[in-house]
Amino acid sequence: MRKKAKDNNQIIVGEFIESKSAKDPGREHFNTMIEKIEKGEANGILAWKLDRLSRNPIDSGKLQYMLQSGFLSKVVTNEKEYTSYDSGLLMSVESGMANQYILDLKKAVRRGLDSKYAKGIRPSSVPIGYLNDIMNKTITLDNERYQIVRKMWELMLTGNYSIRKTLRIANNEYGLRTVKKRKSGGGELTRSSGERIFRNIFYTGYFEYNGELKQGIHTPIISMAEYHRVQSLLGREGAPKAKNREFPYTGMITCGCCGCAITAETKNKYIKSTGITNEYTYYHCTKRGKNIACDQKTTRVEVLEAQIRDILESIEIGTDFQKWIYATIRENFNSEFETRIKIFETLNSSIISEEKKLGNLTNMLLEELINKDEFTSKKRELQDKIENLKSRRDKIDLK
């Protein structure tokens, strides 16, 4: 357009680059341009196409009025020239067509989104652990990542891990990376992405759309009960709630004398002769109840465990129950083994990715895109990262 202005001996008094869409009124730079024209600072507009100036009836009407009233002598585009004498109707028709195109496009997009929703397909991008199968128009599990994502949920379900700690394990120990796209992805999970994962009901097999909860066709990674358990643990701050020390047998046994719950506490005793402080754990009756007359004293954890051991040794496990136990252990082992394989493969992929970066770094040095000091620093960083990934990969037991 600058060349067209030069060829026609037109003087450019201002240039405006508008980042907002022309489909809506209220654009800052467009309004500034109109104000300058109304003040007499310019009497014409050059634009690539008319629909770059406006695709909404308010701004289009403003331009038509300014042409007809003389504020504008002409609007010049790459294709044609609109003047106050003969282009009012033409400009009105073209602007109307551009606006109608936007309305039709909105309807088509909404129709497509509603159709996906009706089929149980989330009409947007899926979270890590899933992939959009464009060819078959469905959602599938990401075989490279979903088991690691499931492992992350399992860590959170213990109540002993914060989002930050879980992410650190996923990024550093499991080598989890986001899906690589053309201009993004392939990096570690951030704190914000971790919060989105553990707040996302999509992993239960459901999804939210327009404020409604819909059961999807995708395979759930966690149960709804597990999802609500993590939400309860996260609370408002996005971190597991503080809790008192837990003891292994509280909540499982009651007092044999009065039937009240059993609690536990630890006591420390300093030994002067050795200079060592020993910790002792005692279990005792809470004696919480009406008209309780309990004469039971405290019991050392070692004594309690000996009593439990005697009871367990007196129990015989039936054949059917043994078979069920073996089957369950085997199933859990197979699931854990598959997870280890996926972690191994993910770490391998991360190693290959970092080694590729190292190779590209050499090319950048040869092309003088970076200096020697930058090359040395970045090379050391990548080499340390690769060694760290290899070390974690080699520790995975695949036997």
Nearby residues of 27 by Cβ (< 8 Å), 6 or more positions away? 18, 20, 59
pLDDT given at position 58: 83
pLDDT given at position 399: 67
pLDDT given at position 93: 67
Nearby residues of 92 by Cβ (< 8 Å), 6 or more positions away? 60, 64
Q: Are strands 74-76 and 44-46 parallel, antiparallel or unpaired?
A: parallel
Among 56, 57, 87, 61, residue whose Cα is nearest residue 73:
87
pTM of the model: 0.45
**CATH topology for 2-116?**
Rossmann fold (3.40.50)
Q: 130-234 architecture in CATH?
A: Alpha-Beta Complex (3.90)
pLDDT given at position 238: 43
pLDDT given at position 309: 92
Q: Where are the domains of the chain?
A: 2-116, 130-234, 250-300, 327-394
Reading the block at residue 243, the tokens are 């809790």
Total Cβ atoms within 10 A of residue 215: 11
Q: How many residues does the chain have?
A: 399
Total Cβ atoms within 10 A of residue 95: 22
Per-residue pLDDT for the chain (399 aa), expressed as one digit of tens each?
677 767 777 778 888 887 777 777 878 888 888 888 888 888 888 887 777 777 788 887 788 788 777 788 788 887 777 776 655 556 666 666 666 666 666 676 677 667 777 777 877 788 999 998 888 888 899 998 999 999 999 999 988 889 999 999 999 888 889 888 877 788 889 989 999 999 999 999 998 877 778 888 899 999 988 998 898 888 744 444 444 567 888 878 888 888 888 899 988 887 778 778 788 999 999 887 667 778 888 999 999 999 999 998 998 888 888 889 888 888 887 788 888 888 888 888 888 888 888 888 888 888 888 888 888 888 888 888 888 888 888 888 776
The pair phi, psi for residue 237, each rounded to 5°, is: -90, -5
**Coil vs helix vs strand at 211:** coil
21 vs 102: CA distance, rounded Å = 11
